[in-house]
Structure 1
């Protein structure tokens, strides 16, 4: 989580494992595309910087954040995939729709990881407004995509 003293792109180098032979799936929501593309870029570059091979990183798009869980499940059931990273952005609106979507996505992604016994990472922003999203997608608070990718790497070293 970003705070006034810590960026999403800052992390400890503890538990960094060799990922040169690991395969990753990145599932990206098309909704709020300007934000999710920045999250994807951060995640992809972080994996490459830590030793992943480009050919071992696959990208799958889903229409919105609600669909991340099923997209993650389809990727996780592939036994060659070592970790799945889910990237999305749900911006608070005037209705309770935000609460239902965020809760369903968090629960769904969690269940996929438990079902397939592999890292399935929640890289979904839940900001109050567009500016907060941009600030966390490569802006002043770093990039949640970086954080999601390094979380996958660290979980593979668990």
Structure 2
């Protein structure tokens, strides 16, 4: 059996933001990190051709509230994709486990319920140093999340969803 099988029907998405409407939902809690993620996201939006007029930015109190705002953007037809950005940093209590897990689950639920890409760009780190590293200029999860959203919009468009 060949291990080099290539389907003639392979579908891949493009990272092209022309005409794509993007929502950014940001958690204010740990905003010193979220602001850095926003900068990265804005850079990626510009590089990949998303017009400023096609970007909606929504701030919510924290990561736990992100899924609801993401769903509102999708349900009311404001966007073709949502990028969710925030930072949940482990502390001394179990609060981290509840917030990080429920935020992730909520974001996944929104995209599965609506068929619209909703990208999990919320950092879940053990400490501040890890959060700073993942929101740096040279490795910014905000940038990466925008690219993911644009690729998924393209992919789903090709699949006819």
Fold shared by both chains (TM-score > 0.5): yes
Distance 2:128 2:88 in 1: 10
Taking structure 1 as the reference length, what is the TM-score of the superposition?
A: 0.87
Distance 2:15 2:28 in 1: 30
RMSD of Structure 2 on Structure 1 (CA)? 1.3
Taking structure 2 as the reference length, what is the TM-score of the superposition?
A: 0.85
Q: Is the 8 A contact 2:34 2:86 kept in 1?
A: yes
Cα deviation for residue 79 of structure 1 reads: 1.9
Q: Which residue of 1 aligns with 2:46?
A: 48
Q: Deviations over 1:24-77 (max 9, x none)?
A: 110010010110001011111101100100110110000000000111111111
Question: How many residue pairs align between the two structures?
Answer: 144
Q: Which residue of 1 aligns with 2:81?
A: 83
Q: Which residue of 2 aligns with 1:143?
A: 140
From 13, 16, 22, the equivalent of 1:15 is 13
Unaligned runs of 5+ in 2: 1-11, 156-161
Q: Does residue 1:154 correspond to 2:151, yes or no?
A: yes
Distance 2:140 2:78 in 1: 27
Q: Is the 8 A contact 2:40 2:137 kept in 1?
A: no
Q: Is the 8 A contact 2:21 2:79 kept in 1?
A: yes
Structure number with larger C-alpha Rg: 2
More helix per residue:
2
Q: Does residue 1:121 correspond to 2:119, yes or no?
A: yes
Cα deviation for residue 85 of structure 1 reads: 0.5
